[in-house]
Amino acid sequence: MSVIIYHNPNCGTSRNTLAMIKASGESPEVILYLETPPSRERLVELLAMMKLPPRELLRRKGTPYDELTLDDPTLSDDQLIDAMMAHPILINRPIVITPKGAKLCRPSEQVLTLLDRPVAHFVKEDGEHVAYPPT
């Protein structure tokens, strides 16, 4: 299995994560999930791999989260997944899958724990320095 990233090139966290993967010597499969959203079955599988309930994968900023009243605690997991299927922008990103596991990589340096040869030093787009392992 290679490295897979569910990526949004308009997202700084996603861009930094992808850059860390590449700086670590990997050539990931990049899935532009807004253009090619996961199937319902794949989304459920991703949630299980990350051990996340659907509510924890929902993105609020820049999405129809509020207008769809997705903060309603009575909404079921299936209803939240339905919302993500109808509006893929609600799926938080980036999601990275490697042989070591799957993770929502927020912050982006979380990806380093999933890589075989993680880059030791990285400078994010905003100038923040990341060292791995953390000191």
Catalytically annotated residues: 11
| Cα dist from 117 to 108, 111, 135, whole Å | 16, 11, 17
DSSP characters for 59-78? --TTSSTTTTTTT-TT--HH
The two three-digit tokens of residue 123, written as one number: 């400078």
Helix (H, G, I), strand (E, B) or coil at 2: coil
Q: Are 89 and 62 in contact (CB under 8 A)?
A: yes
Helix (H, G, I), strand (E, B) or coil at 80: helix
- Indicate left, alpha or beta for 102 from its phi (over 0: left) and psi (-120 to 50: alpha): beta
Q: Are 116 and 122 in contact (CB under 8 A)?
A: no
